[in-house]
Amino acid sequence: MKIVTLCTGNKYPFTYVEKLYRGLQRNLTKPFEFQIITESKYPGWWGKIEIFNPAERIVFLDLDTVIVGNCDFLFEYQGPFAILRDFYRPNGYGSAVMSIEAGYGKHVVESFEANSKSIMEKFHGDQNWIEQQVSDAVLWQDIYPGKIKSFKADNLESGPKGASIVCFHGIPRPYDVAHLPWMIEHWR
C-alpha cells in the first residue's frame, strides 16, 4: 500500500514529514511505501487535487496529522473513496485523511483543471471542491468510529482518548503543543 503526503511551499518544515513517517513505522504492521509530493502545479492544499485518479490505491495523510496508535484500518478499507467528515460541518468533508482506489476521481481532476483559477477563488479549499464533486464518499468516522479525532473539536489536550490519528487543522499546530506529554511520546 502507498501512503502519500504533500509537502510543498514553506508552511511546514520537512521535520513534519519525518515525524509522520516515523509515526507510521511505529503504528503499522503492514508494509507500506511512503511518497512525498514536493511539487505541485497548484498552491498549498490545492495540490491534493493532483492525487486523484491514482495508478494504484493510495492513502493520503496531511502533514499535520499525528499518528498515535495502530493504523492498519487505513489499509482495510477497499471501497472507491473514503474521506473524513468535517469536524465542524457534519455534511462537509475534511481531506486530511483519504483513501483513493486506483483510477478513482478522474472527474475531480479534470473538472478542476478545466477551471482551476476560478475554482480556487470561489472555494475555501480542496475539501470544499471535493464535496462538490463527490456526493457519495464513505466517511472514516462511520466505518472506524473513534479512530481519527480532531485535537480541537475533540478537546485532546490531555491525550488522544483512544484515537489512532489526531488531526490538527488550523491553530494550534502540532509544534504549538509539542510539549504535551502524549505529544512528546508520539510526535517524534
Q: Give, for all 188 residues of the chain, the pLDDT tens digit.
A: 999 999 998 899 999 999 999 999 999 999 999 999 999 999 999 999 999 999 999 999 999 999 999 999 999 999 999 999 999 999 999 999 999 999 999 999 999 999 999 999 999 999 999 999 999 999 999 999 999 999 999 999 999 999 999 999 999 999 999 999 999 999 99
Alpha carbon separation from 17 to 12, 13, 69, 87 (Å, rounded): 9, 8, 17, 23
Say if residues 55 and 45 touch (Cβ distance below 8 Å).
no
Cα 100 to Cα 22, 57, 106, 147, distances in angstroms? 23, 6, 11, 18
C-alpha cell of residue 126: 480542496
